[in-house]
Amino acid sequence: MSSTTTAAAALTDAEVRRIRADFPILGTEVNGHPLVYLDSGATSQRPLAVLDAERDHLLTLNAAVHRGAHTLAAEATEVFEDARATVAGFIGAGEGELVWTSNATEAVNLVAYAISNASAGRGGAAAEQLRIGPGDEIVTTEMEHHANLIPWQELAARTGATLRVLPLDDDGALRLEELPAYITERTRLVAATHVSNVLGVVNPVEDLVAAAHDVGALFLLDACQSVPHLPVDVRALDVDFAVFSGHKMLGPTGIGALFGRRTLLDAMPPFLTGGSMITTVSTTEAEYLPSPQRFEAGTQRVSQAIALAAAVRYLDAIGMPRIAAHEAELGRRLVDGLGAIDGVRVLGGGIDLPRVGLASIDVDGIHSHDLGQFLDDRGIAVRVGHHCAQPLHRRLGVTSSTRASTYVYNTADNVDAVIDGVAAAIDFFGGNR
């Protein structure tokens, strides 16, 4: 897909009400108030269909996959691989191009350490395209989550390469006019986020990918905040790698995924080694399976993969274009409503790009933790802090912010609740200063 989503009708109020009924937790109370859950950017809630899928597997098919020869193990392996095919298809990938990981952070580190191992001479001639060393450059951006920054800092330190960081303008938008100065013939890898977890804007990934490929560099996409909320097609985006997490897309914790072009995955030396990722082992050496199994050492996340596939089917049944349209409406309502309050600064609110249903704010005279506690007292769950994006906050002149993030189960009333809550907090803290 492009950075703009296909036009689609947003979800109706009746449809959202029916969706909310699939999430019992949304009917609970917090501090004596109905729960208003606006922290899906950190972790989403799970519908009954996902919870039931994992429980049913554990009740009827629990067994080690890719190991046993008995019937239960064979059936477990089949549904495990069916889950891989389902999740791969959701992002336009082939099932042989999707590696299970514990989360997106592990997926980024998998790529970084595979490149490190290739740079140390592992992988033979096939890994030449992955090698990096002194004089080479890795490029990321100033708005990245720490998980898409620190692994590249460490890779640069291990290999002697230079890490360069594409800057932002005063609103928080990428300074694309600087691309020719940052992505050059020395660039070997570009890693960037699709959707900022602080700003909520959908970055022009096509421009970044084109700039990387024009100089022969690889491109890794952090899709943690896009795959749950937008139609994402890794083929159309032309990325070489993409990472995302299950728990942000109605699935369980403990599972994430790495997409990689099959030719690249097959060329990459493994990151974790041990059982289940080998063909032949002697006391001095081992030969490894092709991807994706060569990156899945040890006992796998079987029930979690099956639950994630159920989450994908749930999202598909609603339709990702309609989810994106719904969240775009909620996101604009958040930005407009919060931005209209005196003393509130919406981070990235002035960026003219598509956005998901997420907004982070800085409020004059109120620390984000105090604001978050005030909202929590009203049953409104938001995220406070730097959201694992300290460089971005520093660039925008703040140390922390308060983030409200929506999903398919949120309503306009939920958005209005946080807007009203922020206004009430300003009145409360203003009267107590």
Q: Are 218 and 264 in contact (CB under 8 A)?
A: yes
Give 195's strand partners.
202
Cβ density class 147-185: b for 16+ within 10 Å, e for less:
bbbbbbeebbebbebebbbbebeeebbbeeeebeebbee
For residues 156 and 132, give the distance between their C-alpha atoms in angstroms, rounded to a whole number.
9
Catalytic residue among 150, 210, 388, 423: 388
The structure tokens listed for 405 are: 């993030």
Return all residues near 336 (Cβ < 8 A) that are at least 6 apart. none
For residues 356 and 377, give the distance between their C-alpha atoms in angstroms, rounded to a whole number.
26
Is the peptide bond between 391 and the residue preceding it cis, with omega within 30 degrees of 0? no
Q: Beta strand pairing status for 241-245 and 218-222?
A: parallel
Q: Mark whether 388 is an active-site residue.
A: yes
The alpha helices in 91-142, defined as continuous H runs, are 104-119
Around Cβ 132, how many Cβ atoms within 10 Å? 21
Give the residue numbers marked as catalytic: 388
